């Protein structure tokens, strides 16, 4: 039974009731309860607080404090993705997140792909500062050794029962992030091997903390070798239980937190006892919680620091920049070129396409203006992620035709490109306006596959870009970096900031 929660309501109540009832079936006749503990699942958290009043580390802290106040053993487990992406992290490479997680008091932490967004050295520095027990059985240094401060697994005793916990990160991390020369082993094989090791070490209850997609999670769950799986990466509140293994993942940013209450039962004598267990599931809507005082002051301090940092210059433009809607929705525009170039650079793509409607500053920056982070956030306010797709030449042309189809109306779908030169004739009917596309000095091959960077909104088919749905994701929205951060980093990497028209969109 898989429950992906898009909304909370009657469906949630019915599904959880089924899950709780199913958990009771796992108990063995004659078994005696020996103890219990609760697991709070946290994953995919990079925001200190939330504008809409649901989620954020300050409300997660309130939930954790409330659970601990209930009494009993509570394990706070973070299944990865905390250091990035956020505007604050673009400023301090995630240091504030480590401080806040330490204040919450996370018990177990397993890294996700976004822990490596700033490279190996920053990852190691941040993990050294993180006070949680850090688990990653399939993560190794270049020489094959275990990283300092990390363990493959741990075994802890709860109510006389040996509970084993293993950490596994997704093996696509090397593709979607920047771990450098760190070695990341296969997700499934590593998890199964660790389950065997833990059972051989006498673990009676085995928890896998995994940062990987739900298809992998379900394979692990259906294997029956784990009792509980706590996962991250999908950003979807999920509970599944088949009478043997439970799987839980919370909603991103702690908007909805999944909690598993585990009751441990023992049957038989000491020399031949059998452990059984029963789960019950709770979901906390964090909009019902006030931010924890323990984090409120720190969040305020970091917010003030961020506010000041947003006004720090990142570059001085040597040329005029026009981001008015009439400019970015009608033809090639220098700032739009910068956005497209940043997309292509951060993903190492062959080509990039971004939509003019995603640029919203609607102003003219004179030559000599000192651009700030705040300016970039004003221009790119939607929080889009940079994604990477593999796509055929045919679908690239289809995407471009869509982009040029409504130029007369000033529609936001107008395409800005990088890594290609497009010749377009606006006098022709929509759908037949693209005359030629050149990539890397050669004419586009309709049957060839290219690496295309874009934003996650367009990749989902937004602004009519349905052709992009035919593409195969390499880096999706969950794994991509914040587009605004990519643009800031790209601008700062230039020896001089002189955006200009270069003829990448040619009109007849």
Beta pairing partners, 443:
438
- State the average pLDDT over residues 343-367: 97
Q: What percent of the chain has pLDDT over 90?
A: 88
Task: Give, for 279, the enclosing helix (H) or strand (E).
Answer: strand 274-285
Over residues 433-467, the pLDDT tens digits come to 999 999 999 999 999 999 999 999 999 999 999 99
Residue-wise pLDDT tens digits, 117-165: 999 999 999 999 999 999 999 999 999 999 999 999 999 999 889 999 9
Q: Let me know how many helices (H) and strands (E) the chain has, helices first.
A: 15, 29
Three-state DSSP at 394 gives helix
**Does the pLDDT value for residue 42 go beyond 90?**
yes
pLDDT at 30: 53
pLDDT at 46 > cutoff 80: yes
pLDDT at 18 (0 to 100): 31
Q: What residue ranges of the chain are covered by domains with CATH 3.90.780.10?
A: 313-507
Give the β-pairing of 73-78 and 32-42.
Answer: parallel
Run of H or E residues at 488: helix 483-493
DSSP 214: H
Task: Kindly report the length of the chain.
Answer: 508
Does the pLDDT value for residue 23 go beyond 70? Answer: no
Q: For residue 352, is pLDDT > 70?
A: yes
The mean pLDDT of 75-88, rounded to a whole number, is 95
Q: Write out the H or E segment, with its range, that includes residue 194.
A: helix 187-200
Mean of pLDDT values over 185-208:
97
> What is the rounded CA–CA span in Å between residue 49 and residue 321?
33
Beta bridge partners of 474: none
Question: Is the model's pLDDT at 15 over the cut of 50?
Answer: no
Written in H, E and C, the secondary structure of 114-125 is HHHCCCHHHHHH
pLDDT given at position 33: 73
Cα(274)–Cα(295) distance, rounded to whole angstroms?
43
Question: Could you tell me the CA-to-CA distances from 492 to 15, 88, 97 in Å, in that order?
Answer: 50, 16, 24
Helix (H, G, I), strand (E, B) or coil at 52: coil
**pLDDT tens across 483-499, in order?**
999 999 999 999 999 99
pLDDT in tens, 222-253: 999 999 999 999 999 999 999 999 999 999 99
Res 277: pLDDT: 94
Taking the C-alpha atoms of residue 452 and residue 465, their distance in angstroms, rounded to an integer, is: 13
Least confident of 225-239, 258-272, 279-293, 321-335: 258-272
Contacts of 203 (CB under 8 A, 6+ apart): 155, 162, 163, 164
What pLDDT does residue 32 have?
67
The pLDDT of residue 16? 35
Between 3.40.50.1370, 3.40.50.2300, 3.90.780.10, 3.30.499.10, what CATH number should domain 313-507 receive?
Answer: 3.90.780.10
pLDDT band at 271 (very low <50, low <70, confident <90, very high): low
CATH 3.60.21.10 fits 2-305, yes or no: yes
Share of the chain above pLDDT 70, in %: 93
Mean pLDDT in residue range 280-294: 96
From-to residues of CATH 3.60.21.10 in the chain: 2-305
Instruction: Determine the Cα angle at 249 with ends 244 and 251, to 5°.
Output: 155
- The secondary structure of 182-193 as a DSSP string is -EE--HHHHHHH
Pairing label, strands 246-249, 228-232? parallel
Average pLDDT, the chain: 92
For 455, the token pair is: 């934003």
Q: What is the pLDDT of residue 267?
A: 78
* pLDDT tops 50 at residue 12: no
pLDDT tens-place string over residues 373-424? 999 999 999 989 999 999 999 999 999 999 999 999 999 999 999 999 999 9
Predicted confidence band at 31 (pLDDT cuts at 50, 70, 90)? Answer: low
- For position 1, what pLDDT does the model report? 31
Per-residue model confidence (pLDDT) at position 273 = 78
Token pair, residue 193, equals 């091997």
- pLDDT computed for residue 34 by the predictor: 81
The Cα–Cα gap between 401 and 465 comes to 9
């Amino acid at each position: 039974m898989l429950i992906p929660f898009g909304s909370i309501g009657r469906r949630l109540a019915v599904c959880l009731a089924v899950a709780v009832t199913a958990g009771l079936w796992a108990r063995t006749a004659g078994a005696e309860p020996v103890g219990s503990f609760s697991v709070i699942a946290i994953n995919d958290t990079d925001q200190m607080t939330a504008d809409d009043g649901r989620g954020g580390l300050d409300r997660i802290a309130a939930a954790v404090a409330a659970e601990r106040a209930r009494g009993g053993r509570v394990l706070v487990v973070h299944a990865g993705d905390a250091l990035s992406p956020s505007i604050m992290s673009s400023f301090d490479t995630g240091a504030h997140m480590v401080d806040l997680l330490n204040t919450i008091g996370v018990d177990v932490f397993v890294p996700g792909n976004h822990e490596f967004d700033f490279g190996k050295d920053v990852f190691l520095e941040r993990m050294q500062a993180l006070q949680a027990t850090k688990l990653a059985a399939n993560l190794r240094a270049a020489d094959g050794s275990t990283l300092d401060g990390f363990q493959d697994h741990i075994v802890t005793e709860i109510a006389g029962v040996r509970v084993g916990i293993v950490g596994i990160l997704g093996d696509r991390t090397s593709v979607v992030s920047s771990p450098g020369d760190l070695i990341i082993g296969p997700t499934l094989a590593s998890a199964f091997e660790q389950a065997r090791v833990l059972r051989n070490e006498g673990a009676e209850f085995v928890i896998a903390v995994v940062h990987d997609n739900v298809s992998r999670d379900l394979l692990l769950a259906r294997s029956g070798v784990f009792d509980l799986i706590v996962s991250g990466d999908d950003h979807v509140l999920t509970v599944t239980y088949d009478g043997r293994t439970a799987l839980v993942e919370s909603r991103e940013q702690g908007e909805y937190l999944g909690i598993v209450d585990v009751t441990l039962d023992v049957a038989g004598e000491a020399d031949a006892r059998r452990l059984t267990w029963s789960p019950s599931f709770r979901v906390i809507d964090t909009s019902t919680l006030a931010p924890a005082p323990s984090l409120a002051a720190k969040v305020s301090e970091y917010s003030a620091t961020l506010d000041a940092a947003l006004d720090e210059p990142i570059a001085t433009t040597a040329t005029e920049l026009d981001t008015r809607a009439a400019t970015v929705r009608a033809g090639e525009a220098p700032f739009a070129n910068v956005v497209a170039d940043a997309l292509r650079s951060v993903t190492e793509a062959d080509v990039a396409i971004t939509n003019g409607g995603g640029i919203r500053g609607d102003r003219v920056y004179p030559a000599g203006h000192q651009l700030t982070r705040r300016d970039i956030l004003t221009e790119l306010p939607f929080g889009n992620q940079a994604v990477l797709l593999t796509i055929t030449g045919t679908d690239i042309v289809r995407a471009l035709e869509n982009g040029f189809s409504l130029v007369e109306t000033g529609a936001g779908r107008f395409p800005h490109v990088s890594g290609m030169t497009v010749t377009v004739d606006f006098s022709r009917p929509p759908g037949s306006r693209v005359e030629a596309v050149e990539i890397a000095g050669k004419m586009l091959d309709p049957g060839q596959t290219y690496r295309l960077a874009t934003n996650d909104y367009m990749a989902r088919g937004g602004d009519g870009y349905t052709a992009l749905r035919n593409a195969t994701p390499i880096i999706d929205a969950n794994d991509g970096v914040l587009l605004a951060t990519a643009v800031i980093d790209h601008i700062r990497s230039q020896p001089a900031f002189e955006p200009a028209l270069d003829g990448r969109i040619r009109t007849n």
